[in-house]
Chain A
Amino acid sequence: MDTQRASGNGHTQTLIRVEDLRVYFPITKGIIFQRHVGDVKAVDGLAFEIKRGETLGLVGESGCGKSTTGRAILQLYRPTSGRVYFEDVDLTALKGEALRRMRRRMQMIFQDPYASLNPRMTVGGIVGEPLEVHGIAKGKEKQERVQELLRVVGLNPYFVNRYPHEFSGGQRQRIGIARALALNPDFIVCDEPISALDVSIQAQIINLLEDLQDQFGLTYLFIAHDLSVVRHISDRVAVMYLGKIVELADRVELYENPLHPYTQALLSAVPIPDPDVEAKRQRIILEGDVPSPTNPPRGCRFHTRCPLAMDVCREDPEPEFKDAGGGHYVACHLVH
């Protein structure tokens, strides 16, 4: 991919580089002799990079493989094939202690703050655990660091001895963020960090994530299905469909000038809180549902729902994911 591409605010140094990433989950039959009968192709050949200090938004509908992508980058799922470089280190080649050492530098914030915190641990235990596991701080030093982290995410430092159930959803998400920050990471995968929260609380967390990025120079992969939120927080945005990125561009470019029919349909489906705008909008309503990732359609995998599909789209090979100019990448026969 073109490394000269300038993103919104001039980030130049590449932090994460993904090459032809594939994650297949095997489907087996039989109890003792498990025959391999197929694969769920959750992620099926991704290539992109994330610059230091930028936020790359990753959007798509449920089941398109966006969460799997985030987890595969962190090596929480080992990729079936492909490479993930962190700076210049190939994470897919690392094991054991070497991988553990790299893990300090990349963290994750989870969707459900009710399920992702251990109910039997105190807030101090939850936030301090990574410090202990990685042998960074113990005892009094750890306590101080934990209180500092709670202050950073806008929680009262006196909360250290409380348990997760004593907190609201928004506060729990802050605890999860404090834990992710504990090891001073460079890179955080935010996997739908606000979709379980109430509307009035979502903005609090979005602002917090933006502040932390400025303060600590963090790089985010921001995974979400809410396109308005992704537009707000991202520098560049990638759109996924059925295990592939179909379009990737600067946030303004992608939203003002979407090239892929799927992106166009997705954007037109998002309601805008303004009755005048809504009255004038043309909706592109997609027919049917997303096909199964076990057996994606041949040719362009969107052709079964695409209102503009041509004969060439129904035939292999798939359209290539190429730069259509100015770092606006798209995989569509209509464009190339």
Chain B
Amino acid sequence: MARLLDVRNLETRFYTQDGVVHAVNGVSFHVDEGETLGIVGESGSGKSVTVLSIMRLIPSPPGKITNGEVIFEGRDLLKIDEEEMREVRGNRIAMIFQDPMTSLNPVLTIEQQITEALELHLGMNHQQARRRAIELLKMVGIPAAEQRIDNYPHQFSGGMRQRVMIAMGLACNPRLLIADEPTTALDVTIQAQIVELVKRLRDEIGMAIIWITHDLSLLAGLADRIIVMYAGQVVESAPTADIYRNPRHPYTIGLLQSIPRLDEKRRERLAPIEGLPPDLIDYPQGCPFAPRCRFAVERCFEEDPPLEKVGPEHEAACWVKPVGQEVLAAWRAAVLES
């Protein structure tokens, strides 16, 4: 598959009164044409800042992209001028956000919000744009689209608003759709509707997707590949099956052990990750996960491990790289004993 997006060594900092926040620290990953990449991480892990950096939507000041390249369709997005970037944004790369309540403009009708992009990027006249907008609303499953298009956002429920957001995102047939926790604010039955919708549209349109979430369960049936982020770094990257079956970074292992499963057979005690994520202002030396890690050795506190190959498409940033089911069992036992 052809490479669509290549992010290399991305680094984003926020210069605040309290100090420099190391939000993204040397993140590298890629997305191929038509592929779905999942990015999983907790709040503060840098997943949203990473994609906002790609879109060059970091508020500056205080934010600044201090290093890296974002190669999209052969061009470095960090080097092109603002005018060219506007051509990319919403046209080649579209984004949908977590909160459909605040990301739609409350004083414009749905029609005005969708047709804006169509008229701007595709040069359609008003009539054409309206027709296309109705088509898009039908595609994302909004009933009575011909009438609903003249409604305002407050007349839609949360799930319906997220559908409108997706319709707006798809308006210009983007090659890449970035979804930043699009279902976090929604109920689980509505989440299932939205996930099914995005999967269907992906197969119909053939776009690539970056899906950001804190919910590792959600990605199991959705992503082709997953990267796990912690403290502004990619700590593990692998095809979806490997992340769940053969995780190699202690943080990924810890996450999988600490979530209860809907299909759990016996009630087993959860094995939480103790401690807290690091302070991104006072960024730790060595591996950022080391203070919470059960496998940490001396080296982990001194030197930050690079991402290293552990399988054909599988990388982990860890000096120890624990492996195998016995290790998982030993981890559980150790956690539960303490």
Asked whether A199 lies within 8 Å of B187 as measured between CB atoms, the reply is no
- Tell which of B159, B191, B261, B262 touches A289, judged by Cβ atoms closer than 8 Å: B159
Check if B58 is an interface residue, CB within 8 A of chain A: no
Set of chain A residues within 8 Å of B191, measured between Cβ atoms: 269
State how many angstroms separate the Cβ of B328 from the closest Cβ of chain A. 14
In whole angstroms, how far apart are the Cα atoms of A198 and B277 in the complex?
10
The answer to whether A200 and B189 touch (CB under 8 A), given A168-B276, A232-B264, is no
Total interface residues in chain A, CB < 8 Å: 41
A228–B272 contact, CB under 8 A? no
Decide yes or no whether B263 CB sits under 8 A from chain A.
Answer: yes
B273–A275 CB distance below 8 A = no
Known: A204-B272, A207-B269, A272-B217. A198 touches B244 (CB 8 A): no
Residue among B160, B218, B271 with the highest chain A CB neighbour number at 10 A: B218
- Complex Cα gap A231–B191 (Å): 19
Q: Are A225 and B189 in contact (CB under 8 A)?
A: no
- CB B89 to nearest CB in A, in angstroms, measures 30
State how many angstroms separate the Cβ of A62 from the closest Cβ of chain B: 6
Complex Cα distance, B269 from A207, in Å, reads 7
User: A163-182 vs B: 1/0 string, CB under 8 Å?
Assistant: 00000101000000000000
Of A203, A231, A271, A286, which one neighbours B270 at CB under 8 angstroms?
A: A203
Which of A124-132, A135-143, A277-285 sits within the interface? A277-285
> Does B196 lie within 8 Å of A225, measured CB to CB?
no
Contact A203 B272 (CB under 8 A): yes
Segment 180-237 of A: residues with Cβ below 8 Å from B = 198-204, 206-207, 210, 225, 227-229, 231-232
Whether, in the assembled complex, B43 has its beta carbon less than 8 Å from a beta carbon of chain A, the answer is yes
Q: Which residues of B contact A168 (CB under 8 A)?
A: 276
Cβ of B256 under 8 Å from chain A: yes
The answer to whether residues A200 and B267 also contact, given A168-B276, A170-B276, A273-B244 and a CB cut-off of 8 A, is no
Q: Which residues in B have their C-beta under 8 angstroms from that of A199?
A: 42, 214-216, 255, 258-259
Contacts of B157 in A (CB 8 A): 289
| Chain A positions within 8 Å of B189 at CB level | 61, 265-266, 269, 285-286
Q: Are A207 and B272 in contact (CB under 8 A)?
A: yes
**Counting CB contacts under 8 A, is A255 at the interface?**
yes
Which residues from chain B contact A278 at a C-beta distance below 8 Å?
220-221
Q: How many A-B residue pairs have CB under 8 A?
A: 122
- Measured CB to CB, the nearest residue on chain A to B270 is A203
Q: Secondary structure of the A side of the interface?
A: helix
Given contacts A200-B42, A269-B188, contact A275 B240 (CB under 8 A): yes
List chain B residues, Cβ under 8 A from A201: 272, 276
Interface size, chain B (Cβ < 8 Å):
43
B241 at the interface (CB under 8 A from A): yes
A227 CB contacts on chain B under 8 angstroms: 188, 262
- Cβ of B190 < 8 Å from any Cβ of A? yes
Is B193 close to A, CB under 8 A? Answer: yes
Q: Are A289 and B272 in contact (CB under 8 A)?
A: no
A267 at the interface (CB under 8 A from B): yes
Q: A266-B189, A271-B220 are in contact. Are A231 and B244 (CB under 8 A)?
A: no
Among residues of A, the one whose C-beta sits closest to the C-beta of B226 is A275
8 A Cβ contacts from B186-243 to A: 187-193, 196, 214-218, 220-221, 240-241
Once the chains are docked, how many angstroms separate the CA of A204 from the CA of B275? 9
- Say whether B214 contacts A198, CB under 8 Å: yes
List residues 300-326 of chain A with CB under 8 A from any CB of chain B. Answer: none
Contact of A61 among B188, B240, B272, B273 (CB under 8 A): B188
* Cα of A206 to Cα of B268 in the assembled complex, Å: 12
Please give, as numbers and ranges, the residues of chain A lying within 8 Å of B267 by CB-CB distance: 232
Separation of A2 and B160 alpha carbons in the complex (Å)? 42
Since A270-B217, A271-B215, A271-B221 are in contact, a sample of 19 more A-B pairs with Cβ atoms closer than 8 Å, ordered by chain A residue number, is: A199-B255, A200-B42, A201-B272, A202-B272, A225-B188, A228-B261, A228-B264, A231-B260, A255-B263, A266-B189, A271-B220, A272-B262, A273-B216, A273-B220, A273-B259, A274-B261, A281-B221, A286-B192, A289-B190
For this complex, 26 residue pairs linking A to B, each with C-beta atoms less than 8 Å apart, are A62-B187, A198-B42, A199-B214, A201-B276, A203-B273, A204-B274, A207-B272, A228-B264, A229-B260, A231-B262, A232-B267, A268-B192, A269-B188, A269-B189, A269-B192, A271-B220, A272-B220, A272-B262, A272-B263, A273-B256, A275-B240, A275-B241, A285-B192, A285-B196, A286-B193, A289-B159
* Chain A residues at the B interface, C-beta cutoff of 8 Å: 61-62, 168, 170, 198-204, 206-207, 210, 225, 227-229, 231-232, 255, 265-279, 281, 283, 285-286, 289
